[in-house]
Chains A and B, each alone.
Chain A
Amino acid sequence: MSRGDPGRDAATRATRPRRVNWPLWLGSALITVVVFLAVAGPSLAPNDPREHHLIIQVDGKWVTPPYPAFTPGYLLGSDTLGRDLFSWLLWSVRPTIILVVVVAAVRMVLGIVVGIRAGWSDRFLGRLCDCLITAALSVPTLIAALIVITAVGFRFGVWSFVAGLAVTGWAETAQLVRERTRTVKAQEAVEAARALGASGAQIVVLHILPQVMPMIWMLLAFEVSHAVVTTAGLGFLGYYLGGPIFAEVDDFVYRRISEMPELGQMLATVWMVLDEPWAMVAAGSVVFLIVLAFNLVGEGLQARLTRTLGGSRGLYLRAAGDWIPRVEDAAGLVRRHWGRVAIMGLVLVAAGVSAVSWQARRGPDAGVGIPAPATGVGAPAGADESAAAAVGGVARWLEVPGGHIWANEGHDPWRTRCVGFSGPVTTTVQWSAEVDGAFVGGPVVDAQGVIYQAASALAESGERSGRLYAFGDDGRVWWEAALPAPPTGTPALAGDATIYVVIDGGLVAVTPDGQVRWQFASDDAGAAGGALVGPSGDVYYKSPGSLVAVHPDGSLGWKTPITGTAMVDTPRVSADGQTVYWRNLAFDAADGSPTSAGLGLAPQGIPLVQAVVACDGQLYWQYDVWLLRDVGEGVTLEEVTVVNWEAYTWEGLDAGISADGRPWLIARPTTVGMGRGFYWGTAEGELSSKLSVPYADSGQVVGVDAGNIAYFCSNSFDTAPSCVAFGPEQNRAIWRIQFRRNGNFTGAALAPGRLYAAFDDGTLIALGDPL
Chain B
Amino acid sequence: MARYITRRLLMIPLGIALAVTLAYAYAYVVQWDYASRYPELRNRLAASERPSSLVEAYGTYVQGLLRLDMGTLRSGASIAQTLRQALGASLGLLSIALLVSIPLGLGLGIAAARWSRLRPAGWLTALSTLGLAMPSFYVGSLLILLSVAYAFVRKGSGGLPFPLTGFGWDRHLVFPVLALMARPTVQTAQVTATLLTGELQKPYVVAARSLGHGRGTVKRRHAFRNVLAPVALTIATSLRTLVADLILVEWLFFWPGIGRFLASALIPADKTNMASSPYLLEPSFLAPLLGAVAAIFLIADFIASVLVRTLDPRLRVTAKEELPDV
Q: Which A residues are closer than 8 A to B by beta carbons?
A: 23, 133-134, 137-143, 146-147, 150-151, 153, 175, 225, 229, 232-233, 236-239, 244, 255-256, 267-269, 271-272, 274-278, 280-281, 284-285, 287-288, 291-292, 295-296, 299, 431-434, 475-477
Query: Cβ of B133 < 8 Å from any Cβ of A?
Result: yes
**Would you list which residues of chain B between 13 and 65 have a CB under 8 Å from chain A?**
26, 29-30, 33, 36-37, 39, 42
Identify which of B39, B145, B251 contacts A237 (C-beta below 8 A). Answer: B251
19 contacts between A and B (CB under 8 A): A137-B325, A140-B243, A143-B247, A150-B267, A151-B30, A153-B33, A225-B133, A233-B244, A236-B248, A256-B272, A268-B271, A284-B138, A284-B141, A288-B134, A291-B135, A292-B133, A296-B129, A433-B37, A476-B37
Query: Cβ of B165 < 8 Å from any Cβ of A?
Result: yes
A239 touches B164 (CB 8 A): no
Q: Which residue of A lies closest to B137 (CB)?
A: A236
B137 touches A288 (CB 8 A): no
Q: Which of B148, B262, B273 has the most CB of A within 10 A?
A: B273
The digit string for B215-253, where 1 denotes a CB below 8 A from any CB of A, is: 000000000000000000000000011011001100110
Q: Which residue of A lies closest to B46 (CB)?
A: A436
A238 touches B272 (CB 8 A): yes
A287 touches B138 (CB 8 A): yes
The digit string for B138-162, where 1 denotes a CB below 8 A from any CB of A, is: 1001101100100000000000000
What is the size category of the interface that chain B forms with chain A?
35 or more
For residue B114, give the distance in angstroms from its CB to the closest CB of chain A.
15
Query: Cβ of B263 < 8 Å from any Cβ of A?
Result: yes
A237 touches B133 (CB 8 A): no
B325 touches A175 (CB 8 A): yes
Q: Knowing A137-B325, A291-B135 touch, does A150 contact B36 (C-beta < 8 A)?
A: no
The digit string for B161-200, where 1 denotes a CB below 8 A from any CB of A, is: 0001100000000000000000000000000000000000
Please give, as numbers and ranges, the residues of chain A lying within 8 Å of B29 by CB-CB distance: 151
A138 touches B297 (CB 8 A): yes
A434 touches B39 (CB 8 A): yes
For residue B41, give the distance in angstroms from its CB to the closest CB of chain A.
11
For residue A49, give the distance in angstroms from its CB to the closest CB of chain B.
20
CA separation between A275 and B141, bound complex, in Å? 10
Please give, as numbers and ranges, the residues of chain B lying within 8 Å of A175 by CB-CB distance: 325
Please give, as numbers and ranges, the residues of chain B lying within 8 Å of A291 by CB-CB distance: 133-135
Q: Knowing A146-B267, A238-B271 touch, does A476 contact B138 (C-beta < 8 A)?
A: no
* 10 nearest CB pairs, A to B: A284-B138, A238-B271, A140-B244, A292-B133, A142-B244, A291-B133, A238-B272, A280-B141, A277-B144, A434-B39
For residue B31, give the distance in angstroms from its CB to the closest CB of chain A.
10
CA separation between A237 and B135, bound complex, in Å? 13
Q: Knowing A255-B273, A271-B141 touch, does A476 contact B133 (C-beta < 8 A)?
A: no
CA separation between A278 and B252, bound complex, in Å? 15
Q: Can you add 9 more A-B contacts, CB < 8 Å, to A143-B293, A151-B29, A236-B248?
A: A142-B244, A146-B267, A150-B267, A225-B133, A274-B165, A291-B133, A295-B132, A434-B39, A475-B37
Query: Cβ of B98 < 8 Å from any Cβ of A?
Result: no
CA separation between A274 and B254, bound complex, in Å? 11
CA separation between A236 and B250, bound complex, in Å? 12
Q: Knowing A299-B129, A434-B39 touch, does A271 contact B247 (C-beta < 8 A)?
A: no
Which secondary structure dominates where chain A touches chain B?
helix
- A-B contacts, CB under 8 A, total: 128
Identify which of A233, A256, A288, A434 contacts B248 (C-beta below 8 A). Answer: A233
Identify which of B141, B247, B266 contacts A150 (C-beta below 8 A). Answer: B266
Identify which of B37, B240, B270 contacts A140 (C-beta below 8 A). Answer: B240
CA separation between A134 and B273, bound complex, in Å? 36
CA separation between A299 and B29, bound complex, in Å? 43
For residue A624, give the distance in angstroms from its CB to the closest CB of chain B.
44
Which secondary structure dominates where chain B touches chain A?
helix
For residue A286, give the distance in angstroms from its CB to the closest CB of chain B.
10
B266 touches A147 (CB 8 A): yes
Please give, as numbers and ranges, the residues of chain B lying within 8 Å of A133 by CB-CB distance: 325
Identify which of B26, B134, B138, B240 contacts A151 (C-beta below 8 A). Answer: B26
CA separation between A277 and B37, bound complex, in Å? 33
Please give, as numbers and ranges, the residues of chain A lying within 8 Å of B244 by CB-CB distance: 140-143, 233
Q: Which residue of B lies closest to A267 (CB)?
A: B137
Query: Cβ of B130 < 8 Å from any Cβ of A?
Result: yes
CA separation between A239 and B270, bound complex, in Å? 10
Please give, as numbers and ranges, the residues of chain B lying within 8 Å of A143 by CB-CB distance: 243-244, 247, 262, 293
CA separation between A476 and B148, bound complex, in Å? 44
For residue B275, give the distance in angstroms from its CB to the closest CB of chain A.
12
B141 touches A281 (CB 8 A): yes
A477 touches B248 (CB 8 A): no
A476 touches B243 (CB 8 A): no
Q: Which of A225, A237, A281, A288 has the most CB of B within 10 A?
A: A237
A237 touches B144 (CB 8 A): no
Query: Cβ of B281 < 8 Å from any Cβ of A?
Result: yes
For residue B101, give the distance in angstroms from its CB to the closest CB of chain A.
17
Q: Knowing A146-B263, A256-B272, A281-B142 touch, does A288 contact B133 (C-beta < 8 A)?
A: yes
For residue B76, give the distance in angstroms from its CB to the closest CB of chain A.
24
For residue B103, give the distance in angstroms from its CB to the closest CB of chain A.
24
Please give, as numbers and ranges, the residues of chain A lying within 8 Å of B164 by CB-CB distance: 274-275
CA separation between A150 and B30, bound complex, in Å? 8
For residue B188, give the distance in angstroms from its CB to the closest CB of chain A.
17
For residue A502, give the distance in angstroms from its CB to the closest CB of chain B.
27
B267 touches A277 (CB 8 A): no
CA separation between A339 and B270, bound complex, in Å? 60
For residue B183, give the distance in angstroms from its CB to the closest CB of chain A.
10
Please give, as numbers and ranges, the residues of chain A lying within 8 Å of B301 by CB-CB distance: 138
For residue A246, give the distance in angstroms from its CB to the closest CB of chain B.
9
Please give, as numbers and ranges, the residues of chain A lying within 8 Å of B33 by CB-CB distance: 151, 153
CA separation between A394 and B39, bound complex, in Å? 47
Identify which of B26, B145, B240, B273 contacts A278 (C-beta below 8 A). Answer: B145
Q: Which residue of B lies closest to A254 (CB)?
A: B273
Please give, as numbers and ranges, the residues of chain B lying within 8 Å of A151 by CB-CB distance: 26, 29-30, 33
Please give, as numbers and ranges, the residues of chain A lying within 8 Å of B142 by CB-CB distance: 281, 284
B36 touches A237 (CB 8 A): no
B138 touches A285 (CB 8 A): yes
CA separation between A238 and B42, bound complex, in Å? 21
CA separation between A281 and B31, bound complex, in Å? 35
Q: Which residue of A lies closest to B301 (CB)?
A: A138
B325 touches A134 (CB 8 A): yes
CA separation between A476 and B263, bound complex, in Å? 24
CA separation between A214 and B105, bound complex, in Å? 32
CA separation between A476 and B35, bound complex, in Å? 10
Q: Which residue of A lies closest to B241 (CB)?
A: A140
A256 touches B141 (CB 8 A): no
CA separation between A296 and B165, bound complex, in Å? 34
B129 touches A256 (CB 8 A): no
Q: Which residue of B lies closest to A286 (CB)?
A: B138
CA separation between A255 and B275, bound complex, in Å? 11
CA separation between A267 and B138, bound complex, in Å? 10
CA separation between A432 and B38, bound complex, in Å? 9
For residue B244, give the distance in angstroms from its CB to the closest CB of chain A.
4
Q: Which of A137, A271, A274, A278 has the most CB of B within 10 A?
A: A274
Please give, as numbers and ranges, the residues of chain B lying within 8 Å of A285 by CB-CB distance: 138
Q: Which residue of B lies closest to A228 (CB)?
A: B135
B247 touches A229 (CB 8 A): no
Identify which of B37, B248, B262 contacts A431 (C-beta below 8 A). Answer: B37
CA separation between A601 and B130, bound complex, in Å? 79
Q: Knowing A236-B137, A236-B248 touch, does A138 contact B130 (C-beta < 8 A)?
A: no
Please give, as numbers and ranges, the residues of chain A lying within 8 Å of B240 by CB-CB distance: 137-140
Please give, as numbers and ranges, the residues of chain A lying within 8 Å of B30 by CB-CB distance: 150-151
Please give, as numbers and ranges, the residues of chain B lying within 8 Å of A296 by CB-CB distance: 129
Q: Knowing A140-B241, A275-B148, A281-B141 touch, does A150 contact B281 (C-beta < 8 A)?
A: yes
